[in-house]
Amino acid sequence: MSEPRPYDALIDRLGTELVPVRRLLPPWLRTVGWLLAVAAIGAVLLMHYGAGGMMQRWDATPDLAWAGIGAVITTISAAWAALALGVPGRRTVWAWLPLPGALLWIGASGLGCLRDWVAPGTEIAAAHQSADCLVFIISFSIPLSALLIVLLRRACPLRPTLTAVLIGLASAAASASLLEICHAFDSAATDLLTHALAVGAVVAVNAAMGGRLLSRT
């Protein structure tokens, strides 16, 4: 009886050492799990601050309500796109999924630059109060970004930097949505600039660090 060929023995040895891999949940289901974490934070904020102030502001300035809706849509679509890109074979077109929500969010928020004409006499945030918004968005974006990265670590994103950018966008949009619950001021140019700076910082840090954490190389 002939001895087994070397590569046959190698294949047999490798086969006996294989460990079953736990299958990942589909992207939409992991997105729901992450959104439940965001909703839990929102519930805590609502119990503390209530919804009265937010609803009163939205009733007086409907553009802020549309901006909030746009931020929520951006949150959902960016998180779903990031998790979808973690599946090998998914096309880059998924990265465009958050665009409609982001356009609504940015466009409606832009009316805040005209706040003195749209709603004269409304209360405008001072510089230190706008700085508090920046701290709020960044502080909440850190754990939300970390959670999304954990959900993607066992996946295989072939475009880790693009995926990390979407993680940053989803986390920043979620934080901006949560800010609506306790944001007691109408938007003005300085306030919007602070929000844009916070969102940009979150996306940039995720692109720099998240891309490395998600990369298999």
Residue 216 has a pLDDT of 56
Cα torsion angle, 56, 59, 61, 64, sign: positive
Residue 130 has a pLDDT of 62
CA distance 52 to 44: 15
CA distance 179 to 215: 31
Residue 15 has a pLDDT of 54
| Domain boundaries along the sequence of the chain | 25-214
- Tens-digit pLDDT profile for the chain (217 aa)? 455 456 566 566 655 655 555 677 889 999 999 999 999 999 999 999 998 888 888 887 788 889 899 999 999 999 999 999 988 778 899 999 999 999 999 888 877 656 555 444 455 555 455 677 888 999 999 999 999 988 887 777 878 889 999 999 999 999 999 998 887 665 555 567 777 888 888 888 888 876 677 765 5
Stated pTM of the model: 0.81
Of 82, 86, 54, 79, give the one whose Cα is nearest residue 68: 54
CA distance 98 to 165: 12
